[in-house]
Structure 1
């Protein structure tokens, strides 16, 4: 095999490079940057994460309440309704769908689902 032979790893890197050029990826990166640079969104993320952690701790000790869950859901809805966060979530979903299509294309010639079988073997 010559030094110029393309390896599967080389092809993987080429796919990764091409993915970064997709409109879906560029949209996602722009939305992510907008979320990261918005103080109000970051504050709401912190609030949501704090409430979520408190609720999870309450679940572990058997002290979780419906009102606690309602509060977590309310703050999550507020977060998701913020325009920059809504754009980020939409861009993330679009990119995820495109990457799923790439995964299907890679998996097509294989006898397994490349992404779906990563953790297990031999299930019928």
Structure 2
């Protein structure tokens, strides 16, 4: 490895550590732990995941219905309506916004958006 590569990797680790110290990350981690510790939220998550799996299977087999989609959406709204889950989603959105700003700052001098790059090359 070259000195430049080692230096860049060190800066990457430093950046990760700095992100972990932000208010947005701390809030996200606290909200995540609160959701994980909340029995009611965990029960709702399990129910939602089960319904989602059933709906996806129905979709793959051509048996999905509008009623099934509405039931899934209703369960998702119910889950997102839990105060602990609403806080988690807000914290997640704030962290995502911060990370997008960091990505833009990194990408700006390179004229490349690595976060938005989906592969392929040289497309206009």
Tell me the TM-score range normalised by the shorter chain. over 0.9
RMSD of aligned residue pairs (Cα, Å): 1.6
Structure richer in helix, relative to its length = 2
Measured in 2, the distance between the counterparts of 1:63 and 1:114 equals: 39
| Aligned-pair CA distance for 1:119 | 2.5
Residue in structure 2 matched with residue 105 of structure 1 by the alignment:
105
Residue in structure 2 matched with residue 47 of structure 1 by the alignment:
47
Measured in 1, the distance between the counterparts of 2:104 and 2:61 equals: 42
| TM-score after normalising by structure 1 | 0.93
| Number of aligned residues | 122
Residue in structure 1 matched with residue 21 of structure 2 by the alignment:
21
Spell out structure 1 runs of 4+ moving beyond 2 A. Answer: none
**52-61 or 109-118: bigger deviation:** 109-118
Per-residue Cα deviation, 1:25-77 (whole angstroms, up to 9, x for no partner):
00000000000000100000000000000000000111001110010000000
| TM-score after normalising by structure 2 | 0.93
Per-residue Cα deviation, 1:2-43 (whole angstroms, up to 9, x for no partner):
x8x961000000000000000000000000000000010000
Measured in 1, the distance between the counterparts of 2:31 and 2:111 equals: 36
Instruction: Give the gaps of 5 or more residues in structure 2.
Output: none
Instruction: Give the gaps of 5 or more residues in structure 1.
Output: none
Residue in structure 2 matched with residue 76 of structure 1 by the alignment:
76
Task: Determine whether 1:115 maps to 2:118.
Answer: no
Residue in structure 1 matched with residue 65 of structure 2 by the alignment:
65
Q: Secondary structure at the match of 2:74?
A: helix
Paired residues for 1:28-43 under 5 Å: 28-43=28-43
Measured in 2, the distance between the counterparts of 1:34 and 1:81 equals: 15
